[in-house]
Amino acid sequence: MTFRIKNLFLILFWTLFLSPFFTKSLAQDVISGIVRDQYGSALSGVSVTVKEFPEMGAYSDSAGHYELHLNSSIECTVCATLLGYDQDCRHYSEKSNGKLDFMLDNHSQELDMVVVTGTRTPKPLKDAPIITRVITQKEIQQLDVTNVQELLQAELPGVEFSYSMNQQVSLNMQGFGGNSVLFLIDGERLAGETLDNVDYSRLLLADVSHIEIVKGSASSLYGSNAVGGVVNIITKQKKQPWSLNLNARYGSHNQQCYGGSVGFNLKGFNNMLTAQFVHNDPITLKNSGDIGNVYGFNSFDIKDKFSYSYKDKVKITARAGYFFRERATQELSHERYRDFSGGLKGEYKITPHDDITLSYTFDQYDKSDYSITDKLDVRDYSNVQHTLRGIYSRTFRKKHILTLGGDYMRDYLMSYQFADHGAYYQHTADAFAQFDWNPLKKLNVIAGVRYDYFSSGNLHHVSPKLSLMYKLKHFSLRASYANGFRSPTLKERYMQFDMANIFMIYGNPDLNPETSHNFSLAGEYSHGSYNVTLIGFYNRVRNRITTVWNNEMKGMVYTNMVPLHVTGCDFTASASWKFGLSVRASYVFTKEIIPKGQPEISVTRPHSATFRINYAKEWKKYGFSVMLSGRVLSGVTCDEYTSMTSLDETRKVTYPAYTIWKFGFNQTIMKGLNLNFVLDNLFNYVPDYYYSNTPATTGITFTVGVSVDVDKFFKNKSKSKVSHE
């Protein structure tokens, strides 16, 4: 007993005597600090790691604060990393006294953004072999636009929206019309069209994260209608635990826009619900022209996107949406447009190298005529699309990616443009394969092929592509070839429409598909704050589908044209500096060559340019940005047909050049309140004569807007409370 007590006493003695030494050698050093951007704003979700010990790490919280625990007091290198920002690494020693703050520079944020549209393989923008233009959420906010057509015209030279019959909106993007440029929402097609264009008013910006634009053919990935390019609108997915935004906008001509969004992110569950209402009064134009006034309208849009993720292996996404628009085209009769959409997608990471995605989407777009007097709403158009898709991806040696996929779609169309308001449908199926090969660190090669089948006309087509990218230190060279393809639509095959008892328009079941050979060569220089890109492109288009007068049928008939050529160059230069100034200038030259005597004329403006200069400054509780942007479009002289029955009767018409400039001032207060003020058409441009492709403006206009992120006020309040305590 005495021996045990003696041993216990010795153990206790030596423990008390040696504990200071053991404590010092085994103690954990705690490094803490704040991570901010170059404007002084706190950054959350930043990965803070120790270079010498990769297993040690931490993440910054919503206040930018992190806490890193080291096993012992050592000298080391600590790095802060966040996607879209330059990494910041700093030396830590005992002299640091446990404090280490970081500043991340995001001047190269756009180049580091991950894009998917050009390749279906997620890649940083600077590493994508297909030139992709990204318009970020911040740029959308600064430009203060509510729909895609305003945004694309402001940011992309070579893009012009104009009016067609009955003020329906038509697109021209570097010689390609709306039926040759594919618009997607999260990679999914849209149902419905009018005069070969989708309803662009559906493409509101309330829930948009960013927009990816690929010019040139993308048919090997997306099939028909991607002859001239792809515009993919990527919607938001909230990362914060919860969010609530309310916004309003008022402008000239009683333009009103009200919207909001609510979202949550909790234990793998994520939901984002957005709603927006837009009202525009009719506008009476100042001078004579093809258009005397612009119709007023009301529109309402609501969307919900829900997802569930399990252990980074399984992700299920469901979405649903409803859109309604009413145009006051006549005093006693209005036009109504509706869209119902939904979808379900499952993503499964089978192994670290294998992924599979299965999805189903539904989209129904309807048109109707509403009588004010008897309250009748008669539907006379309905396009319904059901689409199934499967994609499998396999990564080899951590750098080569094989992608295999296929789609099936049932396309139904009922239209007032068919005989007796009839209906037609077709089945389409496709299979595609792509290999993303990286034989060298500096070289990336992407090869792909797609097979399409259309039951209407028993049509088959194969679309190949090849893209290469070679990177030097600050310079990248890209080259690509792609085969474009557009199948005749159900309307173009079976139309039988009486144009106000003046003449008939007939479809043609024997139409051939449009095809194109698209070549492009691009050089890009990027270093620090500067980026310069020059692209040369050439397209040879066969069998473009248009209408021509048929004497036997006494009407217009859809037919194929002889080959035409579209060529040109695209130049962009941008720069941004740490003190808050950024500049972007873009210029496009386009030459569309249509042989004389063909039933189509070129109204593509040969020269166009866009400019934007922005200065932003941000402090702890206040920030502002000042923006000046403009677009310049050259005039174009072309032949205009004066007879429907003869392609020889023409006259020279010159559509004048014009320029539109916009000034915007945005303020951010307490990180949660945003105030916008915009003056559009600063130099008060008013056309002498309103052609369909001149801007329908009456001069300088203004808009004011407010956006409140309610959740950020609660976060700021919580931070203040913690600081006070």
Q: What is the DSSP string of 229-251?
A: EEEEEEEP---SSEEEEEEEEEE
Tell me the per-residue pLDDT of 578-619, one tens digit each, with 9 for 90 and over.
888 999 999 999 999 988 778 887 889 999 999 999 999 988
* Band of residue 125 on the pLDDT scale cut at 50, 70, 90: confident
Contact yes or no for 248/705 (Cβ under 8 A): yes
597: alpha, beta or left? (left if phi > 0; alpha if psi -120 to 50): left
Q: Which domains does the chain have, with CATH numbers?
A: 25-106 (2.60.40.1120), 110-718 (2.40.170.20)
Q: Is the pLDDT of residue 16 over 50?
A: no
3-state secondary structure of 5: helix
Q: What confidence score (pLDDT) does residue 20 get?
A: 42
Kindly list the strands in the beta sheet with 47-50, ordered across the sheet, starting from the edge strand earlier in the chain. 53-59, 47-50, 76-81, 88-92
* Residue from 324, 328, 416, 325 nearest 372 by CA: 328
Name the residue with higher pLDDT: 198 or 46: 198
CA distance 417 to 505: 9
pLDDT at 121 over 70: yes
CA 519 to chain CA centroid, nearest Å? 23
- Return the CA Rg of the chain: 29
User: How many Å apart are CA 48 and CA 78, to the nearest integer?
Assistant: 7
Q: Give the pLDDT band (50/70/90) at residue 110.
A: low
> Is residue 217 scored above 60 in pLDDT?
yes
The tokens for 567 are: 């060529």
**pLDDT tens digits, 555-578:** 999 999 999 999 999 999 999 888
Q: What residues are paired with 559 via a beta bridge? A: 546
Specify the pLDDT at position 21: 41
Q: Is the pLDDT of residue 13 over 50?
A: no
How close are the terminal C-alpha atoms of the chain, in Å? 54
How far apart are the C-alpha atoms of 219 and 182, rounded to whole Å? 10
Give the span between the Cα atoms of 102 and 58, in whole angstroms: 14
The torsion defined by the Cα of 124, 243, 311 and 313, in degrees rounded to 10, comes to -50
Whether the CB-CB separation of 172 and 603 falls below 8 Å is answered with: yes
Dist. CA 701–CA 696, nearest whole Å = 12
| pLDDT at residue 720, rounded to an integer | 47
